Structure 1
Amino acid sequence: MRAFIGLLKKDLSLMKFWYFVWLTFMFIGMIGVYALSVYTSEPSITVPFLVTMAGFHVFLAPLSLLTVLNIEGKTQLWLYNPQSSFKLLLSKISSAAIIQLIAQTFISLYAFFIMKVLLDNGLIDSFSNFLPFKQGFLMQLGIFGTSMYISIWVIFLWTVYHSLGKYPAIRNFRWLGVILVWFAYNVLEVLFTKTKLFKNELFSFGVNVNIAPKMNYKMEDGWNILYTDANIPIVTIGLYIILSIIFFLFASWLLDRKVEV
């Protein structure tokens, strides 16, 4: 455990530069949009920015993870680390998850600030009228889950790319191999969705949640977030979680081969 914590601290240290850059631009955007809303006396214009910024956060963890992987790929530090590839990659995905959670916490605090501004200006009656806790929590959970899923794909495709480097004949065309892997997966996924097995009631099982956000603008009220029912496919999400675990374990196996980067 102590060794893993050491790896975690090292990965967080490598990620912190771009993370602070991300936070800096985020805070500049927050301040800029709020200043504009005060100048134009239109407090509701902060709402589209809030929704857009929250959506962009799905890329924070994957980009941070890719940065660390590229740094270690260039230095080949992981080749000489006594820890297993599983622990090395687990520490990186854990570090990415930590900074993702911290960033989404800042987004949540900014959302409370925006709601307070809207409440003071009489544009909403209460916090729950604008963003109920359930909807807010599920949206944040969706952003986090999507970000982690993309991060697993980053790890997997990165290891595929570098594992192909051991073959001189295709070393300069490794990017094509990555594209083919991604394309093949998507083709198989589409074919699977057309099978009778996928159309079974088991895969269609889900729960309807009033969570799907939709922006709405009215001259007298400004911007508002409306919610519509969205089906959450429980079994399908579980399948994606299983696939993510498989891709992660396969990436660890590839890294254990000590391929040159």
Structure 2
Amino acid sequence: MNAFKGLLWKDFKTSKVWFYGWIAIIFLIYIIGMVIGNFVNEPIIVQIFIIMIGVFHIAFLPGIVVSMLRLEGKTQLWLHSPNSGFMLLLPKLIIAFIYSTVSLLIVDLLGVITMAVFPEDSIFSYWPIKEGILFNLGVTVVGLYFSGWTIFLWTFYHSLSKYPSIKSIRWIFVAGFIIVYQSVVAFLMSIEWVERFLFDTFTVEVSSGVFFSVGSNEANAGFDPEMILLPLLPLVFEGMVMMIVFIIACWLLDRKVEV
């Protein structure tokens, strides 16, 4: 446990500059939105900028993971580390998750401040607490999914460096793996009974989407009242795939990947 805490602290110290830089970018984008909104006399633009920042977190989570992996690769410390690949990779995923969560909460706070300052010029006609929670959850889940794949593809790419004959064309094998995986998934989805099982077995009712309207004197947004069935098994399948590729990445790292 002490070793795991030490790895968490190490990853925090080596990545905090990236996080602080990201927070600075958030405030810079927010200020730009405020300036543009005041210039055109449309405060609603500020909220649009805030939503854009929130969407950017889908890329932020895997991006911070990549920055930590690249920094770790430069030091080559894990070639001589007694810890397992799981112990080396999991802290990076946890730190990235914490960064993303804190960053999203800051964005939420900026949204609350904006709605409080401009109550008459808001996208929503009410406090969108449920929408905000679902938005943060969705962005985080998608970000974690891409982070898992990022860790796997990065580890897979560098594991091929053990073979000098293909070291210079490793990217072809990575691209080939992606193509083969997508082809297998597409083939499975083309089988009628597989498609029915995945999409019709377990479903929940959710809103059909988000509406967003802007008029000359008003703007409104929210969830559409029309409900559709959301299949749960494809989400479970993708979650299992992410766990499998993460386990494989840990196994590859246990073989002392050289980067």
* TM-score with structure 2 setting the length: 0.92
* 1:210 maps to 2:207: yes
State the one-letter code of the partner of 1:20: Y
Residue 211 of structure 1: how far off its partner (Å): 7.0
Residue 40 of structure 1: how far off its partner (Å): 2.9
CA distance in 2, matches of 1:35, 1:178: 44
Aligned partner of 1:160 in structure 2 is 156
Q: Confirm or deny: 8 A CA contact 1:153 1:247 kept in the other structure.
A: yes
- Shifted more, 29-38 versus 55-64: the winner is 29-38
Residue 106 of structure 1: how far off its partner (Å): 0.9
CA distance in 2, matches of 1:121, 1:213: 19
* 1:178 maps to 2:191: no
Q: What are the superposed Cα offsets for residues 69-115 of structure 1, whole Å, 9 maximum, x if unpaired? A: 11111221111111111111111111111111111111111221222
Aligned partner of 2:94 in structure 1 is 94
CA distance in 2, matches of 1:219, 1:196: 48
SS at match of 1:198: helix
Aligned partner of 1:112 in structure 2 is 112
Count of residues paired in the alignment: 256
* 1:23 maps to 2:23: yes
Q: Confirm or deny: 8 A CA contact 1:138 1:211 kept in the other structure.
A: no
Structure 1 runs, 4 residues or longer, greater than 6 Å off:
none
Aligned partner of 1:220 in structure 2 is 217
CA distance in 1, matches of 2:125, 2:65: 41
Q: What are the superposed Cα offsets for residues 104-140 of structure 1, whole Å, 9 maximum, x if unpaired? A: 111111221222234155875432xxx2x22221111
State the one-letter code of the partner of 1:81: S
CA distance in 1, matches of 2:122, 2:70: 49
Residue 12 of structure 1: how far off its partner (Å): 1.4
CA distance in 2, matches of 1:253, 1:125: 51
Q: Confirm or deny: 8 A CA contact 1:135 1:211 kept in the other structure.
A: no
Q: Give the 3 Å change call, closer, same or farther, for CA 125–69 of structure 1 in structure 2.
A: closer
Unaligned runs of 5+ in 1: none
SS at match of 2:23: helix
Unaligned runs of 5+ in 2: none
Residue 210 of structure 1: how far off its partner (Å): 2.5
SS at match of 1:259: coil
Identity %: 33
SS at match of 2:214: strand
State the one-letter code of the partner of 1:115: M
Q: Give the 3 Å change call, closer, same or farther, for CA 202–188 of structure 1 in structure 2.
A: closer
Aligned partner of 2:231 in structure 1 is 233
Q: Give the 3 Å change call, closer, same or farther, for CA 122–181 of structure 1 in structure 2.
A: closer
Residue 226 of structure 1: how far off its partner (Å): 3.6
CA distance in 1, matches of 2:212, 2:11: 38
Equivalent residues in 2 for 1:59-208 (5 A)? 59-121=59-121, 125-127=125-127, 131=128, 133-204=129-200, 205-208=202-205
Q: What are the superposed Cα offsets for residues 147-200 of structure 1, whole Å, 9 maximum, x if unpaired? A: 000000010001110111011111001111111111111111111111134322
- Shifted more, 192-201 versus 158-167: the winner is 192-201
